[in-house]
Chains A and B, each alone.
Chain A
Amino acid sequence: DAGVIQSPRHEVTEMGQEVTLRCKPISGHDYLFWYRQTMMRGLELLIYFNNNVPIDDSGMPEDRFSAKMPNASFSTLKIQPSEPRDSAVYFCASSRTGGLAETQYFGPGTRLLVL
């Protein structure tokens, strides 16, 4: 299994630009999570999906952030317009329901720098 795949791995952009982060969960996993990691705030949950449906987006910082999951194998996190305080590592994670298989597996992350 390839694990959770994220792209791009690194992104440098200028303030005001649109940024799109992409995630492919592990095949067969029906939960997908987006987290953000910064030195100041640590690891924070932004939003998560179950069977492609957003369940909890209370962690999304503001309207500049949006996330979609058009199908079971793809999700995007979009920031428009981006600001320097959005600089962080964004992780996608996936898990599946049932039994003892609730472990959340993290992708390699996208390191975002907004200048």
Chain B
Amino acid sequence: GENVEQHPSTLSVQEGDSAVIKCTYSDSASNYFPWYKQELGKRPQLIIDIRSNVGEKKDQRIAVTLNKTAKHFSLHITETQPEDSAVYFCAASPGGGADGLTFGKGTHLIIQP
């Protein structure tokens, strides 16, 4: 089955700086890669996703890149703000999302004021 590795487990950045979280996956059949943000005690919420026919996707301060050959994808957050502090999860799915997601272990992002 699919295996998703996520790094780092904790990331502390100064407010206004950029943050990068990286994930690798094992199943070359995976074609859908969402990123979820989870605040303490809350549900995971989708912040951005990318499909295997696209190399990069941006949404305001958030961007995701995908390298299918190397089987890795990354989340980039620019101009970080205090409200970006949360746990971020990457995930992969071979079914375009109409399939169970395999999640990474999560990255605790801390924005230092």
Interface magnitude class on chain B: 20 to 34
Chain A residues with Cβ below 8 Å from B32 are: 102
Main secondary structure of the interface of A (DSSP, over half): strand
CB proximity of A94 to chain B, nearest CB, Å: 11
Chain A residues with Cβ below 8 Å from B97 are: 95, 102-104
A14-58 vs B, CB cutoff 8 Å, 1 = contact: the mask equals: 000000000000000001010100000011110010100000101
Instruction: From B42, B45, B100, B106, give the contact of A59 (CB < 8 A).
Output: B100
Instruction: From B45, B49, B99, B100, give the contact of A106 (CB < 8 A).
Output: B45
Q: How many residues does chain A have at the interface if contact means C-beta atoms less than 8 Å apart?
A: 23
Complex alpha-carbon distance, A103 and B1, angstroms = 21
CB proximity of B32 to chain A, nearest CB, Å: 7
Chain B residues with Cβ below 8 Å from A106 are: 36, 43-45
Closest 9 CB pairs of A and B: A102-B97, A45-B100, A43-B103, A106-B43, A42-B105, A97-B98, A106-B44, A48-B100, A102-B98
12 residue pairs A–B, Cβ–Cβ below 8 Å: A42-B104, A42-B106, A43-B44, A43-B101, A43-B106, A45-B101, A50-B98, A56-B100, A97-B98, A102-B97, A104-B46, A106-B36
